[in-house]
Amino acid sequence: NPQGNHGEGHDAHRIWQMNMTQQQQTDPLANIKPWYKEPWPWVAIAIPGAAVIMGIITFYLAVSNPDHLVVDEKQYHEIESELRAQQTPDPGQTEPDAPADKGDGER
């Protein structure tokens, strides 16, 4: 009888379902998902991962766009000597490199 066989299959499925429900109620580990299906491990991984990515981007930008000197050493010394030549010495100052206030220099 095909109907009877179908009914037994339905009963077997219902019994299996009841067993699974009972197992889930008695076994607390039955409802635990694997760690990679939970959202919080990915959040915990994403925060330091984002910091590493931002650090790599910052390093790349620092290396690819270095700060250039306004003037090089040679030009600096030329400008410095021109400025010293343009300065007029104060009448009270005998040495050109002496501090203006006697309390500012070395004793």
Q: Rounded mean pLDDT of 10-15?
A: 84
Q: Note the pLDDT of residue 57.
A: 98
Residues 13-26: pLDDT tens digits? 888 887 777 666 66
Q: pLDDT at residue 90 above 60?
A: yes
For the segment 47-88, what is each residue's pLDDT rounded down to a tens digit? 999 999 999 999 999 999 988 778 888 989 999 999 998 887
Q: Which amino acid is at 40?
A: W
pLDDT of residue 16: 80
The CA distance from 99 to 95, in Å, is 9
Neighbours of 98 (CB within 10 A): 13
Sequence-distant (≥ 6) Cβ neighbours of residue 93 within 8 angstroms: 100
pTM across the whole model: 0.40
Rounded-to-integer distance, Cα 3 and Cα 11, Å = 12
